[in-house]
A and B are shown apart, each in its own frame.
Chain A
Amino acid sequence: MRITNLKKKMGDFTLDIKDLTIKEGAIHGFIGGNGCGKTTLAKLIMGIIEADSGHMDMAHLTNLQMTMTSQRPYLMHTSVYENIIYPLKIRKLPIDQGQVDQLLQCCGLLEKKNQYARSLSSGERQKVSLIRALIFNPKLVIIDETFSNMDMDSVQLFEEMILKIQQEEPITWIMISHQLAHIYKMCDYIHFFAKGHLLDSGTTEDIFLKSKNEIIRRYMETQMIEKRGSI
Protein backbone atom coordinates (compact mmCIF):
# COMPACT_ATOMS: atom_id res chain seq x y z
CA MET A 1 0.00 0.00 0.00
CA ARG A 2 1.50 3.33 -0.99
CA ILE A 3 0.38 6.88 -0.37
CA THR A 4 1.92 9.68 -2.41
CA ASN A 5 1.47 13.48 -2.33
CA LEU A 6 -1.73 13.17 -0.33
CA LYS A 7 -3.27 16.44 0.80
CA LYS A 8 -6.31 17.14 2.91
CA LYS A 9 -7.23 20.54 4.30
CA MET A 10 -9.58 20.66 7.28
CA GLY A 11 -10.05 24.19 8.61
CA ASP A 12 -6.63 25.53 9.62
CA PHE A 13 -5.08 22.07 9.56
CA THR A 14 -3.54 20.52 6.45
CA LEU A 15 -2.42 16.93 6.18
CA ASP A 16 0.37 16.64 3.66
CA ILE A 17 1.91 13.19 3.15
CA LYS A 18 4.62 13.06 0.49
CA ASP A 19 5.36 9.35 0.50
CA LEU A 20 4.23 6.61 2.86
CA THR A 21 4.48 2.87 2.29
CA ILE A 22 2.47 0.42 4.37
CA LYS A 23 3.95 -3.05 4.05
CA GLU A 24 1.36 -5.81 3.80
CA GLY A 25 1.15 -8.40 6.55
CA ALA A 26 2.91 -6.18 9.10
CA ILE A 27 1.83 -4.22 12.16
CA HIS A 28 2.31 -0.48 11.69
CA GLY A 29 2.18 2.15 14.40
CA PHE A 30 1.09 5.73 13.73
CA ILE A 31 2.43 7.96 16.47
CA GLY A 32 2.75 11.67 17.13
CA GLY A 33 1.25 14.43 19.25
CA ASN A 34 -2.41 15.38 19.37
CA GLY A 35 -3.75 16.91 16.16
CA CYS A 36 -0.83 15.76 14.01
CA GLY A 37 -3.09 14.01 11.48
CA LYS A 38 -2.97 10.33 12.47
CA THR A 39 -6.73 9.83 12.64
CA THR A 40 -7.31 12.00 9.57
CA LEU A 41 -4.94 9.77 7.61
CA ALA A 42 -6.70 6.66 8.93
CA LYS A 43 -10.06 8.08 7.81
CA LEU A 44 -8.61 8.83 4.37
CA ILE A 45 -7.34 5.25 4.08
CA MET A 46 -10.78 3.95 5.08
CA GLY A 47 -12.49 6.24 2.59
CA ILE A 48 -14.49 7.97 5.35
CA ILE A 49 -13.24 11.32 4.07
CA GLU A 50 -11.87 12.17 0.65
CA ALA A 51 -8.46 13.66 -0.08
CA ASP A 52 -8.14 17.02 -1.85
CA SER A 53 -5.31 15.64 -3.99
CA GLY A 54 -2.75 12.85 -4.11
CA HIS A 55 -2.80 9.15 -4.71
CA MET A 56 -3.48 6.09 -2.60
CA ASP A 57 -2.54 2.73 -4.05
CA MET A 58 -4.58 0.33 -1.93
CA ALA A 59 -2.95 -2.81 -3.38
CA HIS A 60 -6.28 -4.30 -4.51
CA LEU A 61 -7.82 -3.93 -1.07
CA THR A 62 -11.57 -3.32 -1.20
CA ASN A 63 -13.86 -1.70 1.38
CA LEU A 64 -15.12 -5.16 2.29
CA GLN A 65 -11.63 -6.29 3.30
CA MET A 66 -10.80 -3.53 5.73
CA THR A 67 -12.19 -2.07 8.91
CA MET A 68 -11.45 0.46 11.61
CA THR A 69 -12.18 0.71 15.31
CA SER A 70 -11.99 3.90 17.32
CA GLN A 71 -11.59 5.09 20.89
CA ARG A 72 -15.34 5.62 21.20
CA PRO A 73 -16.70 2.92 18.91
CA TYR A 74 -20.18 3.17 17.45
CA LEU A 75 -22.41 0.40 18.73
CA MET A 76 -25.78 -0.11 17.11
CA HIS A 77 -29.01 0.18 19.11
CA THR A 78 -29.28 -3.57 19.50
CA SER A 79 -27.73 -6.49 21.38
CA VAL A 80 -24.03 -7.27 21.73
CA TYR A 81 -24.55 -10.35 19.52
CA GLU A 82 -26.26 -8.41 16.71
CA ASN A 83 -23.44 -5.88 16.78
CA ILE A 84 -20.80 -8.56 16.45
CA ILE A 85 -22.42 -10.38 13.54
CA TYR A 86 -23.26 -7.18 11.63
CA PRO A 87 -20.17 -7.33 9.32
CA LEU A 88 -20.99 -10.98 8.54
CA LYS A 89 -24.59 -10.08 7.71
CA ILE A 90 -23.69 -7.32 5.27
CA ARG A 91 -21.15 -9.60 3.58
CA LYS A 92 -23.69 -12.43 3.53
CA LEU A 93 -21.13 -14.67 5.25
CA PRO A 94 -22.23 -17.67 7.36
CA ILE A 95 -22.44 -17.04 11.11
CA ASP A 96 -20.38 -19.44 13.18
CA GLN A 97 -22.16 -19.37 16.55
CA GLY A 98 -19.32 -21.32 18.14
CA GLN A 99 -16.74 -18.76 17.03
CA VAL A 100 -18.86 -15.85 18.28
CA ASP A 101 -19.39 -17.53 21.66
CA GLN A 102 -15.71 -18.39 21.93
CA LEU A 103 -14.63 -14.80 21.24
CA LEU A 104 -17.18 -13.49 23.74
CA GLN A 105 -16.05 -16.06 26.30
CA CYS A 106 -12.40 -15.01 25.86
CA CYS A 107 -13.33 -11.38 26.56
CA GLY A 108 -15.63 -12.20 29.47
CA LEU A 109 -18.68 -11.00 27.59
CA LEU A 110 -20.52 -14.26 26.97
CA GLU A 111 -23.14 -13.61 29.67
CA LYS A 112 -23.77 -10.20 28.10
CA LYS A 113 -24.31 -11.62 24.62
CA ASN A 114 -27.98 -10.64 24.49
CA GLN A 115 -27.64 -7.44 26.47
CA TYR A 116 -28.32 -4.01 24.94
CA ALA A 117 -24.88 -3.09 23.58
CA ARG A 118 -25.04 0.56 24.55
CA SER A 119 -25.41 -0.31 28.20
CA LEU A 120 -21.86 -1.73 28.32
CA SER A 121 -18.97 0.08 29.96
CA SER A 122 -16.53 1.92 27.69
CA GLY A 123 -13.92 -0.86 27.99
CA GLU A 124 -16.51 -3.51 27.14
CA ARG A 125 -17.69 -1.44 24.17
CA GLN A 126 -14.13 -1.38 22.86
CA LYS A 127 -13.90 -5.16 23.24
CA VAL A 128 -17.14 -5.62 21.28
CA SER A 129 -15.85 -3.32 18.53
CA LEU A 130 -12.59 -5.29 18.30
CA ILE A 131 -14.39 -8.64 18.12
CA ARG A 132 -16.68 -7.13 15.45
CA ALA A 133 -13.63 -5.95 13.51
CA LEU A 134 -11.96 -9.36 13.58
CA ILE A 135 -15.00 -11.62 13.04
CA PHE A 136 -14.94 -11.41 9.22
CA ASN A 137 -11.19 -12.01 8.75
CA PRO A 138 -10.26 -8.60 7.27
CA LYS A 139 -7.03 -7.90 5.41
CA LEU A 140 -6.47 -4.46 6.94
CA VAL A 141 -7.46 -3.36 10.44
CA ILE A 142 -6.98 0.16 11.75
CA ILE A 143 -7.09 0.42 15.53
CA ASP A 144 -7.43 4.04 16.62
CA GLU A 145 -6.83 4.27 20.39
CA THR A 146 -9.16 1.32 20.92
CA PHE A 147 -7.20 -0.08 23.86
CA SER A 148 -7.31 3.13 25.87
CA ASN A 149 -10.15 2.19 28.24
CA MET A 150 -9.45 -1.52 28.57
CA ASP A 151 -8.01 -3.20 31.64
CA MET A 152 -4.51 -4.65 31.32
CA ASP A 153 -5.73 -8.26 31.13
CA SER A 154 -7.98 -7.44 28.18
CA VAL A 155 -5.24 -5.48 26.40
CA GLN A 156 -2.93 -8.47 26.84
CA LEU A 157 -5.62 -10.81 25.56
CA PHE A 158 -6.10 -8.79 22.37
CA GLU A 159 -2.35 -8.41 21.92
CA GLU A 160 -2.03 -12.20 22.06
CA MET A 161 -4.96 -12.55 19.65
CA ILE A 162 -3.32 -10.15 17.17
CA LEU A 163 0.05 -11.89 17.42
CA LYS A 164 -1.63 -15.27 16.89
CA ILE A 165 -3.30 -13.96 13.73
CA GLN A 166 0.08 -12.67 12.54
CA GLN A 167 1.65 -16.08 13.08
CA GLU A 168 -1.09 -18.02 11.31
CA GLU A 169 -2.26 -15.76 8.49
CA PRO A 170 -0.65 -12.30 8.63
CA ILE A 171 -2.80 -9.29 7.83
CA THR A 172 -1.98 -5.57 7.82
CA TRP A 173 -2.59 -3.57 11.00
CA ILE A 174 -2.37 0.14 11.65
CA MET A 175 -2.32 1.02 15.33
CA ILE A 176 -2.79 4.58 16.46
CA SER A 177 -1.93 5.09 20.08
CA HIS A 178 -0.18 7.28 22.63
CA GLN A 179 0.61 4.17 24.68
CA LEU A 180 4.18 3.81 23.47
CA ALA A 181 4.85 0.67 25.49
CA HIS A 182 2.03 -1.04 23.63
CA ILE A 183 3.21 0.32 20.24
CA TYR A 184 6.79 -0.74 20.93
CA LYS A 185 5.69 -4.23 21.91
CA MET A 186 3.34 -4.83 18.98
CA CYS A 187 4.53 -2.92 15.90
CA ASP A 188 6.97 -3.90 13.18
CA TYR A 189 7.10 -0.41 11.66
CA ILE A 190 6.55 3.07 13.04
CA HIS A 191 5.44 6.18 11.20
CA PHE A 192 5.91 9.41 13.13
CA PHE A 193 3.69 12.41 12.34
CA ALA A 194 3.98 16.06 13.33
CA LYS A 195 1.80 19.01 12.28
CA GLY A 196 0.26 17.15 9.37
CA HIS A 197 3.53 15.79 7.96
CA LEU A 198 5.18 12.40 8.08
CA LEU A 199 8.44 13.10 9.87
CA ASP A 200 9.98 9.66 9.72
CA SER A 201 9.21 6.01 8.98
CA GLY A 202 11.18 2.92 9.87
CA THR A 203 11.35 -0.20 11.92
CA THR A 204 10.27 0.09 15.54
CA GLU A 205 13.89 -0.08 16.79
CA ASP A 206 15.01 2.57 14.28
CA ILE A 207 12.38 5.08 15.36
CA PHE A 208 12.31 4.36 19.08
CA LEU A 209 16.01 3.88 19.71
CA LYS A 210 18.04 5.28 16.84
CA SER A 211 16.14 8.27 15.50
CA LYS A 212 18.28 11.36 15.07
CA ASN A 213 15.27 13.61 14.60
CA GLU A 214 15.10 16.06 17.51
CA ILE A 215 11.25 16.26 17.52
CA ILE A 216 10.92 12.47 17.64
CA ARG A 217 13.55 12.12 20.38
CA ARG A 218 11.85 14.80 22.48
CA TYR A 219 8.42 13.17 21.97
CA MET A 220 9.76 9.77 22.99
CA GLU A 221 11.40 11.19 26.10
CA THR A 222 8.30 13.04 27.30
CA GLN A 223 5.90 10.17 26.50
CA MET A 224 8.10 7.48 27.99
CA ILE A 225 8.85 9.08 31.35
CA GLU A 226 6.23 6.91 33.04
CA LYS A 227 6.47 3.98 30.66
CA ARG A 228 10.22 3.50 30.56
CA GLY A 229 10.06 0.65 33.05
CA SER A 230 7.81 -1.41 30.86
CA ILE A 231 9.91 -0.76 27.74
Chain B
Amino acid sequence: MIEIVAAMERFFMNIGAMDAIKVTLIMAISSTSISAVVGITFGLLLERHNFMGKRIIIRINRTLMGVPPVVIGLLVYLLLMRRGPLGSLSLLFTIQGMILAQTLIITPIISGMVYTHASRSAPSIRQFAKTMGASKWQTNVLMIKEMKHELYFAIVAGFGRSISEVGAVMLVGGNIKGSTRTMTTAISLLKSQGIFTEGVTLGLLLLLMAFILQWMADYFQREDTTDENY
Protein backbone atom coordinates (compact mmCIF):
# COMPACT_ATOMS: atom_id res chain seq x y z
CA MET B 1 0.00 0.00 0.00
CA ILE B 2 2.79 2.36 1.00
CA GLU B 3 4.55 1.54 -2.28
CA ILE B 4 1.46 2.43 -4.29
CA VAL B 5 1.12 5.74 -2.45
CA ALA B 6 4.81 6.48 -3.00
CA ALA B 7 4.47 5.65 -6.72
CA MET B 8 1.45 7.94 -6.99
CA GLU B 9 3.36 10.70 -5.22
CA ARG B 10 6.30 10.30 -7.62
CA PHE B 11 3.92 10.46 -10.53
CA PHE B 12 2.27 13.67 -9.35
CA MET B 13 5.55 15.31 -8.39
CA ASN B 14 7.24 14.51 -11.70
CA ILE B 15 4.65 16.19 -13.87
CA GLY B 16 3.83 18.96 -11.40
CA ALA B 17 0.31 17.60 -11.11
CA MET B 18 -0.24 18.79 -7.55
CA ASP B 19 0.50 22.38 -8.55
CA ALA B 20 -1.77 22.04 -11.58
CA ILE B 21 -4.61 20.72 -9.38
CA LYS B 22 -4.03 23.55 -6.89
CA VAL B 23 -4.03 26.23 -9.61
CA THR B 24 -7.12 24.70 -11.23
CA LEU B 25 -9.04 24.71 -7.96
CA ILE B 26 -7.98 28.25 -6.99
CA MET B 27 -8.90 29.53 -10.43
CA ALA B 28 -12.20 27.63 -10.69
CA ILE B 29 -13.40 28.40 -7.16
CA SER B 30 -12.47 32.10 -7.37
CA SER B 31 -13.95 32.72 -10.82
CA THR B 32 -17.10 30.69 -10.05
CA SER B 33 -17.62 32.57 -6.77
CA ILE B 34 -17.34 35.99 -8.46
CA SER B 35 -19.50 34.84 -11.38
CA ALA B 36 -22.12 33.37 -9.03
CA VAL B 37 -22.58 36.66 -7.19
CA VAL B 38 -22.60 38.78 -10.36
CA GLY B 39 -24.49 36.29 -12.56
CA ILE B 40 -27.25 35.44 -10.07
CA THR B 41 -27.83 39.11 -9.21
CA PHE B 42 -27.86 40.09 -12.89
CA GLY B 43 -30.15 37.19 -13.88
CA LEU B 44 -32.67 37.99 -11.14
CA LEU B 45 -32.62 41.74 -11.84
CA LEU B 46 -33.09 41.10 -15.55
CA GLU B 47 -36.17 39.01 -14.80
CA ARG B 48 -37.57 41.50 -12.31
CA HIS B 49 -37.36 44.72 -14.34
CA ASN B 50 -38.75 45.68 -17.71
CA PHE B 51 -36.88 48.39 -19.59
CA MET B 52 -36.07 49.46 -23.10
CA GLY B 53 -33.38 47.27 -24.63
CA LYS B 54 -34.05 44.29 -22.33
CA ARG B 55 -34.52 41.92 -25.28
CA ILE B 56 -31.21 43.01 -26.78
CA ILE B 57 -29.43 42.45 -23.46
CA ILE B 58 -30.97 38.95 -23.22
CA ARG B 59 -29.79 38.15 -26.77
CA ILE B 60 -26.29 39.44 -26.07
CA ASN B 61 -26.20 37.36 -22.87
CA ARG B 62 -27.30 34.24 -24.78
CA THR B 63 -24.67 34.89 -27.44
CA LEU B 64 -21.99 35.23 -24.77
CA MET B 65 -23.11 31.90 -23.26
CA GLY B 66 -21.86 30.18 -26.39
CA VAL B 67 -18.88 32.35 -27.26
CA PRO B 68 -15.64 30.31 -27.79
CA PRO B 69 -13.47 30.74 -24.66
CA VAL B 70 -10.41 31.30 -26.81
CA VAL B 71 -12.01 34.52 -28.12
CA ILE B 72 -12.49 35.77 -24.57
CA GLY B 73 -8.93 34.66 -23.83
CA LEU B 74 -7.64 36.70 -26.76
CA LEU B 75 -9.60 39.79 -25.67
CA VAL B 76 -8.33 39.50 -22.10
CA TYR B 77 -4.79 38.97 -23.44
CA LEU B 78 -5.08 42.18 -25.50
CA LEU B 79 -6.41 44.01 -22.45
CA LEU B 80 -3.67 42.77 -20.14
CA MET B 81 -0.64 42.82 -22.48
CA ARG B 82 2.05 45.33 -21.59
CA ARG B 83 0.83 47.88 -24.17
CA GLY B 84 -2.84 47.11 -23.51
CA PRO B 85 -5.32 49.31 -21.57
CA LEU B 86 -4.78 47.29 -18.37
CA GLY B 87 -1.12 46.49 -18.98
CA SER B 88 0.00 48.52 -15.99
CA LEU B 89 -1.72 46.03 -13.69
CA SER B 90 0.78 43.31 -14.71
CA LEU B 91 -1.85 40.59 -14.66
CA LEU B 92 -0.80 38.76 -17.81
CA PHE B 93 0.56 35.26 -17.12
CA THR B 94 -0.77 35.38 -13.55
CA ILE B 95 -3.52 33.42 -11.88
CA GLN B 96 -5.46 36.68 -11.35
CA GLY B 97 -5.52 37.24 -15.10
CA MET B 98 -6.80 33.71 -15.62
CA ILE B 99 -9.53 34.31 -13.02
CA LEU B 100 -10.55 37.45 -14.91
CA ALA B 101 -10.82 35.53 -18.19
CA GLN B 102 -12.74 32.68 -16.56
CA THR B 103 -15.12 35.10 -14.84
CA LEU B 104 -15.93 36.70 -18.20
CA ILE B 105 -16.62 33.24 -19.66
CA ILE B 106 -18.74 31.90 -16.79
CA THR B 107 -20.82 34.93 -15.77
CA PRO B 108 -23.05 34.93 -18.89
CA ILE B 109 -23.64 31.18 -18.45
CA ILE B 110 -24.81 31.60 -14.83
CA SER B 111 -26.86 34.76 -15.49
CA GLY B 112 -28.47 33.20 -18.58
CA MET B 113 -29.46 30.02 -16.72
CA VAL B 114 -30.76 32.01 -13.74
CA TYR B 115 -32.75 34.37 -15.98
CA THR B 116 -34.32 31.48 -17.92
CA HIS B 117 -35.45 29.72 -14.76
CA ALA B 118 -36.50 32.89 -12.93
CA SER B 119 -38.67 34.05 -15.83
CA ARG B 120 -40.63 30.79 -15.46
CA SER B 121 -40.94 30.52 -11.68
CA ALA B 122 -40.35 33.96 -10.12
CA PRO B 123 -43.78 35.48 -11.00
CA SER B 124 -45.65 32.73 -9.13
CA ILE B 125 -43.24 32.94 -6.16
CA ARG B 126 -43.73 36.73 -5.99
CA GLN B 127 -47.51 36.34 -6.23
CA PHE B 128 -47.46 33.75 -3.45
CA ALA B 129 -45.28 35.99 -1.28
CA LYS B 130 -47.74 38.84 -1.79
CA THR B 131 -50.68 36.66 -0.69
CA MET B 132 -48.71 35.72 2.43
CA GLY B 133 -48.01 39.37 3.28
CA ALA B 134 -44.24 38.97 2.88
CA SER B 135 -42.06 42.08 2.80
CA LYS B 136 -39.69 42.83 -0.08
CA TRP B 137 -36.75 41.37 1.82
CA GLN B 138 -38.74 38.25 2.79
CA THR B 139 -39.82 37.86 -0.85
CA ASN B 140 -36.21 38.00 -2.03
CA VAL B 141 -35.14 35.44 0.57
CA LEU B 142 -38.04 33.19 -0.46
CA MET B 143 -37.06 33.57 -4.11
CA ILE B 144 -33.51 32.38 -3.41
CA LYS B 145 -34.76 29.50 -1.25
CA GLU B 146 -37.32 28.35 -3.80
CA MET B 147 -34.85 28.47 -6.67
CA LYS B 148 -31.88 27.05 -4.74
CA HIS B 149 -31.58 23.92 -6.88
CA GLU B 150 -31.60 25.86 -10.12
CA LEU B 151 -29.09 28.36 -8.72
CA TYR B 152 -26.90 25.48 -7.59
CA PHE B 153 -27.11 23.85 -11.03
CA ALA B 154 -26.14 27.15 -12.66
CA ILE B 155 -23.13 27.42 -10.34
CA VAL B 156 -22.16 23.77 -10.99
CA ALA B 157 -22.40 24.40 -14.74
CA GLY B 158 -20.16 27.44 -14.34
CA PHE B 159 -17.65 25.51 -12.23
CA GLY B 160 -17.66 22.65 -14.74
CA ARG B 161 -16.94 25.07 -17.56
CA SER B 162 -14.14 26.62 -15.53
CA ILE B 163 -12.27 23.39 -14.72
CA SER B 164 -12.61 22.08 -18.26
CA GLU B 165 -11.45 25.21 -20.12
CA VAL B 166 -8.13 25.23 -22.01
CA GLY B 167 -7.99 27.98 -24.65
CA ALA B 168 -8.43 31.12 -22.56
CA VAL B 169 -6.23 29.98 -19.65
CA MET B 170 -3.49 28.94 -22.08
CA LEU B 171 -3.50 32.38 -23.73
CA VAL B 172 -3.80 34.47 -20.57
CA GLY B 173 -1.89 32.19 -18.17
CA GLY B 174 0.87 31.02 -20.49
CA ASN B 175 0.93 27.49 -19.00
CA ILE B 176 3.86 28.26 -16.68
CA LYS B 177 4.77 25.22 -14.54
CA GLY B 178 4.00 25.68 -10.86
CA SER B 179 2.42 29.06 -11.46
CA THR B 180 -0.32 29.15 -14.12
CA ARG B 181 -0.43 25.55 -15.34
CA THR B 182 -3.87 24.05 -14.84
CA MET B 183 -4.97 20.44 -15.18
CA THR B 184 -6.30 21.01 -18.69
CA THR B 185 -3.24 22.89 -19.95
CA ALA B 186 -1.06 20.21 -18.34
CA ILE B 187 -3.02 17.51 -20.22
CA SER B 188 -2.55 19.47 -23.45
CA LEU B 189 1.21 19.70 -22.84
CA LEU B 190 1.53 16.02 -21.85
CA LYS B 191 -0.24 15.01 -25.04
CA SER B 192 2.11 17.13 -27.17
CA GLN B 193 5.05 15.39 -25.42
CA GLY B 194 3.49 11.98 -26.03
CA ILE B 195 3.06 11.26 -22.28
CA PHE B 196 -0.41 9.75 -22.49
CA THR B 197 -0.68 7.77 -19.21
CA GLU B 198 -0.20 10.83 -17.02
CA GLY B 199 -2.50 12.86 -19.27
CA VAL B 200 -5.27 10.27 -18.97
CA THR B 201 -4.78 10.15 -15.17
CA LEU B 202 -5.26 13.91 -14.93
CA GLY B 203 -8.29 13.62 -17.21
CA LEU B 204 -9.77 10.98 -14.93
CA LEU B 205 -9.22 13.30 -11.96
CA LEU B 206 -11.15 16.03 -13.79
CA LEU B 207 -13.93 13.55 -14.46
CA LEU B 208 -13.98 12.61 -10.79
CA MET B 209 -14.35 16.27 -9.78
CA ALA B 210 -17.26 16.70 -12.20
CA PHE B 211 -18.87 13.52 -10.87
CA ILE B 212 -18.59 14.68 -7.24
CA LEU B 213 -20.28 17.99 -8.09
CA GLN B 214 -23.08 16.24 -9.92
CA TRP B 215 -23.49 13.73 -7.13
CA MET B 216 -23.82 16.57 -4.61
CA ALA B 217 -26.50 18.21 -6.77
CA ASP B 218 -28.44 14.94 -6.93
CA TYR B 219 -28.02 14.39 -3.19
CA PHE B 220 -29.51 17.80 -2.29
CA GLN B 221 -32.35 17.22 -4.73
CA ARG B 222 -33.17 13.89 -3.08
CA GLU B 223 -33.07 15.44 0.41
CA ASP B 224 -35.98 17.64 -0.60
CA THR B 225 -38.12 15.15 -2.41
CA THR B 226 -38.09 12.12 -0.14
CA ASP B 227 -41.37 10.37 0.72
CA GLU B 228 -42.98 11.25 -2.55
CA ASN B 229 -46.45 9.89 -2.91
CA TYR B 230 -48.00 10.52 -6.28
- State whether these chains interact: yes
A-side interface residues toward B, CB under 8 Å? 43, 46-48, 62-69, 74, 76-78, 86-87, 90-91, 112, 114-116, 118-120, 132
Instruction: List the B side residues contacting A78 at CB < 8 Å.
Output: 224
Instruction: List the A side residues contacting B226 at CB < 8 Å.
Output: 116
Do B124 and A74 have beta carbons less than 8 Å apart? yes
Instruction: List the A side residues contacting B219 at CB < 8 Å.
Output: none
Do A48 and B227 have beta carbons less than 8 Å apart? no
Instruction: List the B side residues contacting A47 at CB < 8 Å.
Output: 130
Distance between Cα atoms of A185 and B146 in the complex (Å): 38
Can you list 14 contacts pairing A with B, beta carbon distance less than 8 Å?
A48-B130, A48-B131, A62-B133, A63-B133, A67-B132, A74-B128, A77-B224, A78-B224, A90-B133, A90-B135, A90-B138, A119-B225, A119-B230, A132-B132
In the assembled complex, B229 has its CB within 8 A of some CB on chain A? yes
Do A74 and B127 have beta carbons less than 8 Å apart? yes
Distance between Cα atoms of A86 and B134 in the complex (Å): 10
Instruction: List the A side residues contacting B132 at CB < 8 Å.
Output: 67, 86-87, 90, 132
Do A68 and B228 have beta carbons less than 8 Å apart? no
Do B131 and A68 have beta carbons less than 8 Å apart? yes
In this complex, the member of B128, B132, B134, B229 whose beta carbon has the largest number of chain A beta carbons within 10 angstroms is B132
**What is the distance, in angstroms, from B143's C-beta to the closest C-beta of chain A?**
11
- Contacting A at CB under 8 A, from B111-133, are 124-125, 127-128, 130-133
When the two chains form the complex, which single residue of A67, A118, A120 contacts B133, counting CB atoms closer than 8 Å? A67
Give 4 nearest A-B pairs by CB, closest first. A74-B128, A119-B228, A64-B133, A68-B131
When the two chains form the complex, which single residue of B124, B130, B134, B146 contacts A46, counting CB atoms closer than 8 Å? B130
Do B125 and A74 have beta carbons less than 8 Å apart? yes
Do B227 and A116 have beta carbons less than 8 Å apart? yes
Do B131 and A67 have beta carbons less than 8 Å apart? yes
In this complex, the member of B130, B133, B142, B226 whose beta carbon has the largest number of chain A beta carbons within 10 angstroms is B133
Interface string of B188-230 (1 = CB under 8 A from A): 0000000000000000000000000000000000001111111
Instruction: List the B side residues contacting A132 at CB < 8 Å.
Output: 132
Instruction: List the A side residues contacting B133 at CB < 8 Å.
Output: 62-67, 87, 90-91
Do A90 and B130 have beta carbons less than 8 Å apart? no
Starting from the known contacts A77-B148, A90-B138, A119-B225, 15 additional A-B residue pairs (CB-CB under 8 Å) come to A47-B130, A48-B130, A48-B131, A64-B133, A67-B132, A69-B131, A74-B125, A74-B127, A77-B224, A78-B224, A114-B227, A115-B227, A116-B226, A120-B229, A132-B132
**What is the distance, in angstroms, from A13's C-beta to the closest C-beta of chain B?**
18
Instruction: List the B side residues contacting A76 at CB < 8 Å.
Output: 128, 142, 145-146
**What is the distance, in angstroms, from B98's C-beta to the closest C-beta of chain A?**
36
**What is the distance, in angstroms, from B178's C-beta to the closest C-beta of chain A?**
45
Instruction: List the A side residues contacting B128 at CB < 8 Å.
Output: 74, 76
Instruction: List the A side residues contacting B125 at CB < 8 Å.
Output: 74
When the two chains form the complex, which single residue of A46, A91, A112, A115 contacts B131, counting CB atoms closer than 8 Å? A46
Give the residue name and chain of the B residue nearest to A124 (CB): B229
Do B131 and A116 have beta carbons less than 8 Å apart? no
Distance between Cα atoms of A78 and B135 in the complex (Å): 20
Give the residue name and chain of the A residue nearest to B138 (CB): A90
Give the residue name and chain of the A residue nearest to B223 (CB): A116
Interface string of B151-180 (1 = CB under 8 A from A): 000000000000000000000000000000
Distance between Cα atoms of A66 and B124 in the complex (Å): 18
**What is the distance, in angstroms, from B23's C-beta to the closest C-beta of chain A?**
37
Give the residue name and chain of the B residue nearest to A63 (CB): B133
